[in-house]
Structure 1
């Protein structure tokens, strides 16, 4: 699994096992306690580490929760299912499955709500979750070009804008469907959504 760790600091070497335990404990605490009652002390106890260990790695609760949520989305993979449509369907189904997990749902909703009044938190969400997961769009487009399903991008700036737009469409639709409308993201819905998305790509 691809794993992101917070920026390194001077001192003793980082422990990957401690990081993993802390992030897992954070997600567990979010589900059981919610954002408002979650404390770094409780997370440290659950993870079996000293509270100072947390503070050496994360400046506060905001950063810790974002990284705990980001680790879940790092599980996303671009499947090779033989066509652009099938690849998109595979990613969307994975994304919806992650959002269906209580720890992902609780964590994402909490940090998004907090970010409305915290510019630094919004930037961390963008860097740790959004920008990192755009790799799937980049890889998917490159594979589609190799298959001849999409023409090569003539203008790099236009290609970058298209990647941003595709990501926003996929992420926005799935998050709204699962977390706002509370409707299922089943195979029928995913096929319909993918057809609409590909129609837009073809027109572009």
Structure 2
């Protein structure tokens, strides 16, 4: 006969407030201590929770840092500026502002390096950051299609491939500009990039 597992055996439900405090403490530790100095013990102390609380939620430091920076990217919103070009410019500037935060820079550079030989960590980066932020592309395309600024797509597979490509182009360009080239993403750069994205290399320069 199978025994029923009582509620006390299934573990306590996760606290949204505790999770938010832990992720905020992780970002603060990244700014103050850097990647190499950050430990789960330090984060637990800052968040005012037991270290075992962290281990029940995250397998280790890498996963914790991914989720801490993913929460920053969840703040991204697609502005409604009236045109597809201006919407893209707005989200590019928001994205760059997040990458300009020291905790985001430190976390992304570190976890990407750590994920080189860690398939599970790459998958967590993909599911927690990349896949969640593709919502902006889906939302932006749907809005532009409703305005008549983009043609509608009836094939879901083609639409999904397009979403992946658009995200890769935008995110790749902004991340490279901010973290690799270490140059600013200002209004002029965002406008030039958007023009290139929408019109391609053969479009004439703006007059």
When the two structures are superposed, what TM-score results if normalisation uses the length of structure 1? 0.92
Gaps of 5+ in 1: 1-8
CA distance in 2 between counterparts of 1:44 and 1:192 reads 44
Moved more, 66-75 or 50-59: 50-59
Q: Which 5+ residue runs of structure 2 have no aligned equivalent?
A: 1-8
Partner deviation per Cα, 1:91-129 (whole Å, 9 max, x = no partner): 000000000011111111111110111110000000000
**Which contiguous aligned blocks of 4+ residues in structure 1 show a shift greater than 2 angstroms?**
none
**1:140-151 pair list within 5 angstroms:** 140-151=140-151
SS class of match (2:117): coil
The number of aligned residues is 193
- 1:154 deviation in Å? 3.3
Instruction: Tell which structure's C-alpha radius of gyration is larger.
Output: 2
1:190 and 2:190 aligned: yes
Give deviations 1:53-109, integer Å, cap 9, x for gaps: 111111111110100010000000011100100100110000000000111111111
| Matches of 1:184 and 1:83, distance apart in 2 | 24
> Structure 1: how far apart are the matches of 2:127 and 2:13?
24
Alignment-derived partner of residue 68 in structure 2:
68
How big is the alpha-carbon RMSD for the aligned residues of Structure 1 and Structure 2? 1.4
* Structure 2 match to 1:88: 88
Residue 138 of structure 2 is matched in structure 1 by 138
Q: 3-state SS of the aligned residue for 2:149? A: coil
Q: Which moved more, 1:10-19 or 1:137-146?
A: 10-19
Instruction: Give the structure-2-normalised TM-score.
Output: 0.90
What are the within-5 Å matches in structure 2 for residues 17-32 of structure 1?
17-32=17-32
CA drift of 1:130 comes to: 0.2
Following superposition of structure 1 onto structure 2, how do residues 101-140 of structure 1 map, counting pairs within 5 Å? 101-140=101-140
Distance 1:31 1:119 in 2: 26
